[in-house]
Structure 1
Amino acid sequence: MFSFLTEERKKKFLSVAGERTRHITIVLENLYQTHNASAILRSCDCFGVQDIHIIENSNRYKINKDIDMGSTKWLHVHKYSEKESNTVDCINHLKAKGYTVYATSPHIKSLTLKEVPLENKSAFLFGTELTGLTQEAIKASDGCVHLPMYGF
């Protein structure tokens, strides 16, 4: 495919690819609403986050093409759906790759995003829309982060 592109388009591809990061990654645990997961993938693409990890315990992720707007073509989506221990398997995989793993929760006294030492590779876990992360995810994480909420 690359041979069919103009030189200008090749430079654009290489420039954009060079700005992507594997220093930060996002983990979605058991999301229920496919449009929310697809919107998160689109946001990750916009921010240059290359790898997304999806843990499927009881809910299966399906791409909502109207929401993701093609972003999954450019991301590496890693799914964990084979075992009973999908959450721990994902977290252990990330730790083995050198990531510090942060569980997100508005209910736990924790670091703010500004306090996270981003000079280290960081993985941020987000849970289901209704109940958040499982206790298993929180316990297996290296720390907790909360994102201040200012809306309704």
Structure 2
Amino acid sequence: MISPDRFRKIRHMLLHRQPDLTVVMDNVNKAHNLSAIIRSCDTVGIGELHAVSYRKSIYTEQDAAAGASKWTTLHLYHEMATVYKKLSDQNMQILVASSSAGCMDFRNIDYTMPTALVVGAEWDGISEAALHGADQTIAIPMFGMVESLNVSVATALILFEAQRQRSAKGMYDSLQMEPGLFHQTLFELAYPRLSRELRQEGTPYPRLDEEGRIC
């Protein structure tokens, strides 16, 4: 049985999730960067993120990095068009982080809108497929000699600007998840083994009280 304190922490996390904010990793290929991005996503309330991989070896790294957090879900794809179609169906603005000329300052974007942030690989940068489907390219202003930041650092900077804007608008003060999905996810995180058994049996999840006890 789950402890009341742990149950409250899980519930608090889900109450602050932002289902209309996500990240797409475009062929990001280093496991430590994948893990760092996943942690940043969890911190700002992102529960689901996406990764596109064109190389089998990188796909394996992404799959391994998915275990960096049991609190987020990493969806893996082999092509950008598939994830872009999914995001477009959810009416998300697609923002591609780039260092090319003509990009908008990342602080001048409205992140309170449904938003998907696309970040590129360390070796190859943003792909043409990612750029082609973007609603806007954004950049972090740079005044030194280096041309770009580490992908996980850049992602964190942009996500915390999104968090700042959403906090100012009160988007962390009320439940953003669909209530049915909230209660389903809460039960599955509180009772992972039991939830698997109930799904296999086709049995609905029981209700939980405020302490996480099964009613």
Aligning the two structures, in what range does the TM-score lie when normalised by the shorter sequence?
Answer: 0.7 to 0.9
Question: Equivalent pairs: percent with the same residue?
Answer: 23
Equivalent residue number for residue 60 of structure 1: 59
Contact 2:95 2:137 in 1 (8 A): yes
Equivalent residue number for residue 105 of structure 2: 112
**Correspondences of 1:32-111 after superposition (within 5 Å):** 32-58=29-55, 59-62=58-61, 70-71=68-69, 73-81=70-78, 86-111=79-104
Give structure 1 stretches of 5+ with no counterpart.
Answer: none
Paired amino acid for 1:14: R
Distance in 2 of aligned mates of 1:136 and 1:27: 13
Structure 1, residues 108-150: CA drift from partner, whole Å, max 9, x if none? 3222222111221000101111221111110111111112346
Question: What is the root-mean-square deviation in Å for CA atoms of aligned residues?
Answer: 2.2
Residue 18 of structure 1 is aligned with which of 3, 15, 18?
15
Structure 1, residues 22-54: CA drift from partner, whole Å, max 9, x if none? 221000011121221111112211222111100
SS of 1:62's equivalent in the other structure is helix
| Structure with the higher helix share, 1 or 2 | 2
Give structure 2 stretches of 5+ with no counterpart.
Answer: 147-215
Distance in 1 of aligned mates of 2:59 and 2:81: 17
Distance in 2 of aligned mates of 1:63 and 1:93: 20
Query: Structure 1 residues 64 and 94, CA, compared in 2 at 3 Å: closer, same or farther?
Result: closer
Distance in 2 of aligned mates of 1:119 and 1:43: 18
Distance in 1 of aligned mates of 2:123 and 2:39: 21
What is the CA distance between 1:7 and its match in structure 2? 2.5
**Structure 2 residue 135 is the aligned partner of structure 1 residue 138:** no
Residue 30 of structure 1 is aligned with which of 27, 35, 40?
27
Distance in 2 of aligned mates of 1:77 and 1:150: 34
| TM-score of the aligned structures, taking structure 2 as reference length | 0.60
What is the CA distance between 1:15 and its match in structure 2? 1.0
